Amino acid sequence: MADSSASGARPDNPADRRTFLKIGAGVIAGAAVATVVEVPYYSSVLGGKNNDSSSTVSSLQSQLSATSAQLNSAQGQVSSLTGQLNSANSQLSSTQAQLASANTQLSSVSTQLSSTQQALTSANGQVTSLNGQVSSLNSAVTSANSQVSALQAQIGTTTGFLNLNVTEQACVEAMAEAIIPSDSNGPGAKEAGVIYFIDRQLATDYGKNAQMYWKGPFVYPGLTGPVTVAGTTYSGGSMTAGPNDGSRYQYGMLLREFWRSGVLAFEAYCNSAYGGNFEKLSSADQVKALTDLTKNAPTSFNGIVPSDFFNEVFLMTWSGFLMDPLYGGNIGMVGWELTGFSGVNMGNFYGEGHTSKELMVATTPTRLRPASLAQFQQASAGTGA
């Protein structure tokens, strides 16, 4: 501007000069202001080092890359945490399913427990009922035992002997036991006290031939030749007697003597044939010896037919086993218990509630507990009958 004449016409108007100066000053002022504004800006951005802008950008890019890496790392961690969260959610869902299943099982177990408790309560009720029945049965057994004890007390005298001596007792008892032995079926002649029954019978009317015609003539089994009766002789003949045929006993001696002679003859035979008294023999030899009697094997038997003696022993053994205990045998009614005989019990002796008509028309038999004459007499006396 100092050389303004070289550039053209010079303004003549002073006003125009002022205008130009204002404009120029404004331009310069604006440039100055702009420069003043720009310098702080770039200084703040570029750190006041306009000449190092490239390195600054690189630094910023490095920082950006580091920030991006951190961001990526954070995103990876977020993804990992998200996966862990999903896994935890899955585990939670599985645990909830298991818990639901466990609750279902617990409900089922509770139902079963309730059912078991009901069954246990029912079983306890049944046990209580059975205990009551057992108690009732025990009372009945106690009562029955008392009755048996009373009966045994009544027949306690049968423990002694009135007719048989010691030797006869041993032989007769062994014969009775061999005929009706004690085995798996039940008690035998020994338990029934058959020996006492026979002894009592031999000491009373039976042993004295009471109400028996025995004055003869006596026709022995197998007898041949003539028979004389009251001075009249009859032609000879032959006969064979059997048990209970009306002509079994044809001897001119009392039955107590018949038994005594038979026992002595039988013991003598057992000693000669088997080497000892009958009661000392083995069971097998005892059976053989009794069989010998039935076959009349002994050739000498004190004037008695051996089979006659066996038949008498056999009959009295069964009688003592099955007769009413009132007569000294069948102790405890063991014979009746074994054979199912009820004695005088007609259906209601022990309160069973059966009537005679009911038992008669029943299609199947009813087994009743036996009752003896002595029991019947006691019951009748107790009721005033």
Tokens of 246: 């009306």
pLDDT at 51 over 80: no
Distance CA 132, CA 128 (A): 6
Q: State which amino acid sits at residue 192.
A: A
The string of pLDDT tens digits covering residues 121-162 is 787 778 777 777 877 766 666 566 555 555 554 444 457 899
Rounded to the nearest angstrom, the gap between the alpha carbon of residue 340 and the centroid of all alpha carbons in its chain is: 29
* Cα–Cα distance, 313 to 365 (Å, whole number): 33
Lowest mean pLDDT among 18-27, 31-40, 328-337: 31-40
CB atoms within 10 A of CB 340: 10
Question: Residues of the chain with pLDDT > 70: what percent?
Answer: 72
The count of other CB atoms within 10 Å of the CB of residue 331 is: 23
Contact 352, 342 (CB under 8 A): no
pLDDT band for 197, please (50, 70, 90 cuts): very high
Residue 213 has pLDDT above 60, yes or no: yes
Using the structure block, give the residue that is written with the tokens 């299609």: 363
Strand 227-229 and strand 232-234: pairing? antiparallel
DSSP, res 330? S
The stretch 194-220 carries a mean pLDDT of: 86
**Residues facing residue 228 across a β-bridge:** 233
Question: What pLDDT was estimated at residue 32?
Answer: 46
Residue 61: other Cβ atoms inside 10 A: 11
Instruction: Summarize pLDDT for 373-383 with one digit per residue, the tens.
Output: 988 888 887 75
Which residue shows structure tokens 């059912």?
A: 115
- Rounded alpha-carbon distances, angstroms, from residue 360 to 338, 356, 364, 367: 22, 6, 10, 13
The residue type of 352 is E
Phi-psi region of 137 (alpha: psi -120 to 50; beta: other; left: phi over 0): alpha
For the segment 299-328, the average pLDDT, to the nearest whole number, is 94
**What CA–CA distance (Å, rounded) separates 80 from 32?**
57
Q: Which of 71-75, 108-112, 265-269 has the lowest mean pLDDT?
A: 108-112
Residue type, 340: G
What pLDDT is attached to residue 118? 84
Q: Work out the pLDDT band at 19, boundaries 50, 70, 90.
A: low
- Statement: residue 204 has pLDDT above 90: yes
**Is a pLDDT exceeding 80 seen at residue 189?**
yes
Contact 154, 374 (CB under 8 A): yes
SS3 assignment, position 233: strand
- Residue 26 pLDDT: 54
pLDDT tens for each residue of 280-292: 999 999 999 999 9
| AA identity, residue 154 | Q
pLDDT at site 71: 85
Q: What is the mean pLDDT of the chain?
A: 79
On whether the CB atoms of residues 167 and 176 are closer than 8 A, the answer is no
Rg (CA), the chain: 67
Strand runs labelled E in the chain: 227-229, 232-234
| Domain boundaries, given as residue ranges, for the chain | 71-150, 156-214+253-341, 216-250
pLDDT at 41 over 50: no
What is the mean predicted confidence (pLDDT) over 86-110? 82
- pLDDT of 261: 97
